[in-house]
């Protein structure tokens, strides 16, 4: 393993120290670990917090700043952060308007964020959790932990962050986040595996001439392994998987502030249809050259035109990664006026900034 690392145990800490040094508009706390807006004390709005295992940079720390996240909790590489981390982070950021946790649907993240929400609500800090489960590679939710949270996370953080900035209440932010999740779908693929520093060797084996279709951002297995093929072919598989995906229904948990407990609700994502207007993310998984991502964009754009899917906004680059994996994911989020307005609103973070 060749990596730019001093000590394996210090990777996350040193990354955070680097971010704080580079971006004075952010502050870091090392015990427990979180990254927070330096101006968080002067905010008067709902606090939007996300977090998850490290290794997906720039997510989530890179999205802390005006118009997006108020704070982020990084876990160990590919391991969910802990409830006390989220608890301290939320207490530091909270300014009386409630806390919204945006949680990617992985067993570890869900349970740790649920514990944190229970602790905060018990302290009288009004907290709600919203899940992101947009990975169409996982087909059912009855016999699995459900669809994983991937690219829609970035888009949701942007949109809900802007809504909070505009003065939305906790309930309104949660409702908007839930809508974005139900409008979002993603599908990824891997050309290579990735190396977790502590493990020192590839996370999974994949032959030189094989690719994994539907891979997750930790190298989770997807729908199938196939022989390596052209960019157009691969893009076509990913794009069709998203556009042809049917109704997706699952049970999710929401905190009921009335009863002070979790409530199970059924939640459905309608399929995409001709005429839908999309925000699209063509995302590199860590070691994919931008030139290749544009190659993917080219073919995806062609398919969308054919199917009368309108791409109204797009970002192309590495926004949610899997360490040093080579591969790509495509995310589409259907838009409406509310979503577009908040997508276009100013944002000023290390990894996403416009309008400022």
Partner 1 sequence: MKTLQHKHIIKWFELASLTLRENKDYLTKLDSEIGDADHGFNMERGFNKVHNKLEEFSLNTDLGAIFKNMGMTLISSIGGASGPLYGTFFLQFGMAIVTKTELSLQDFVTAFEKGVNGVKLRGRASVGDKTMIDVLAPVADRLKESLSENNTFEKVFSDIVKSAEKSMKSTVPLIAKKGRASYLGARSVGHQDAGATSSYLILKSLKEAIEE
Ligand X SMILES: Nc1ncnc2c1ncn2[C@@H]1O[C@H](COP(=O)(O)OP(=O)(O)OP(=O)(O)O)[C@@H](O)[C@H]1O
CB of 110 to ligand X, least distance (A): 9
Comparing CB distances to ligand X, the nearer of 109 and 276 is 109
Backbone φ, ψ for residue 149 (5° rounding): -90, 125
> How many of the chain's residues bind partner 1 (CB under 8 A)?
34
CB of 204 to partner 1, least distance (A): 8
Residue 271 has what DSSP assignment?
A: P
How many C-beta atoms surround the C-beta of residue 104 within 10 A? 29
Comparing CB distances to partner 1, the nearer of 132 and 173 is 132
| Closest CA relative to residue 313, chosen from 301, 326, 325, 324 | 301
| Residue 66 partner contact from partner 1, ligand X, none using kind-dependent CB cut-offs of 5 to 8 Å | none
| Residue 51 partner contact from ligand X, partner 1, none using kind-dependent CB cut-offs of 5 to 8 Å | none
**CA 216 distance to own-chain centroid:** 12
Q: What part of residues 93-122 is at the interface with ligand X (CB under 6 A)?
A: 106-109
First-to-last CA distance in the chain? 40
| Residue 284 partner contact from ligand X, partner 1, none using kind-dependent CB cut-offs of 5 to 8 Å | none
CB of 244 to partner 1, least distance (A): 20
Q: State how far the alpha carbon of 86 is from the alpha carbons of 49, 83, 182, 296, in Å.
A: 8, 5, 25, 37
Q: Which two tokens stand for residue 120?
A: 């905060």
- Does 133 bind partner 1 (CB under 8 A)? Our answer is no
Q: State how far the alpha carbon of 55 is from the alpha carbons of 60, 181, 272, 325, in Å.
A: 10, 22, 31, 10
Comparing CB distances to ligand X, the nearer of 109 and 133 is 109
- Does 34 bind ligand X (CB under 6 A)? Our answer is no
Residues ≥6 apart with Cβ < 8 Å to 270: 182, 247
Q: Which of 23, 56, 94, 301 is catalytic?
A: 56
Whether 257 is catalytic? no
Could you say which of 17, 91, 96, 107 contacts partner 1 (CB under 8 A)? 107
- Does 80 bind ligand X (CB under 6 A)? Our answer is yes
CB of 77 to partner 1, least distance (A): 8
- Does 79 bind ligand X (CB under 6 A)? Our answer is yes
Q: What part of residues 143-182 is at the interface with partner 1 (CB under 8 A)?
A: 143-145, 148
Give the integer Cα–Cα distance in Å for 151 and 329: 8
Residues ≥6 apart with Cβ < 8 Å to 81: 33, 51, 52, 53, 73, 74, 75, 112
| Residues making contact with partner 1 (CB under 8 A) | 32, 53, 75-76, 78-85, 106-108, 111-112, 114-115, 138, 143-145, 148, 196, 198-199, 203-204, 216, 218-221
Which positions lie near ligand X, rule CB under 6 A?
53, 78-80, 106-109
Query: Residues with catalytic annotation?
Result: 56, 218
């Amino acid at each position: 393993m060749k990596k730019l690392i001093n000590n394996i145990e210090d990777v996350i800490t040193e990354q955070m120290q680097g971010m704080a040094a580079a971006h004075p508009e952010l502050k870091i706390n090392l015990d427990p670990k979180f990254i927070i807006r330096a101006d968080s004390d002067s905010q008067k709005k709902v606090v939007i917090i996300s977090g998850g295992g490290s290794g997906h940079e720039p997510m989530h720390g890179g999205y802390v700043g005006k118009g997006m996240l108020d704070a982020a909790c990084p876990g160990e590489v590919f391991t969910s952060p802990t409830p006390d981390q989220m608890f301290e982070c939320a207490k530091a950021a909270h300014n009386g308007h409630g806390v919204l946790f945006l949680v990617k649907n992985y067993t570890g993240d869900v349970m740790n964020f649920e514990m944190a929400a229970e602790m905060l609500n018990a302290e009288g800090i009004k907290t709600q959790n919203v899940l992101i489960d947009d990975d169409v590679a996982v087909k059912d939710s009855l016999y699995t932990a459900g669809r994983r949270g991937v690219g829609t996370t970035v888009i949701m953080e942007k949109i809900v962050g802007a809504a909070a900035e505009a003065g939305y209440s906790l309930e309104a932010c949660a409702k908007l986040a839930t809508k974005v999740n139900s409008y979002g779908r993603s599908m990824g693929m891997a050309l290579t595996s990735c190396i977790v520093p502590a493990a020192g060797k590839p996370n999974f084996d994949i032959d030189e001439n094989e690719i994994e279709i539907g891979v997750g951002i930790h190298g989770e297995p997807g729908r199938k392994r196939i022989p390596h093929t052209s960019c157009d072919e691969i893009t076509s598989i990913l794009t069709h998987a998203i556009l042809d995906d049917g109704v997706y229904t699952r049970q999710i948990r929401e905190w009921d502030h009335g009863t002070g407990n979790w409530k199970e609700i059924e939640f459905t994502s309608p399929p995409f249809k001709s005429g839908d207007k999309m925000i699209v993310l063509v995302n590199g998984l860590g070691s994919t050259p931008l030139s290749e991502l544009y190659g993917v964009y080219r073919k995806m754009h062609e398919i969308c035109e054919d199917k009368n899917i309108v791409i109204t906004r797009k970002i192309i680059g590495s926004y949610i990664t899997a360490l040093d994996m080579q591969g790509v994911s495509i995310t589409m989020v259907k838009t409406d006026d509310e979503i577009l307005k908040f997508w276009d609103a100013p944002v000023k973070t290390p990894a996403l900034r416009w309008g400022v």
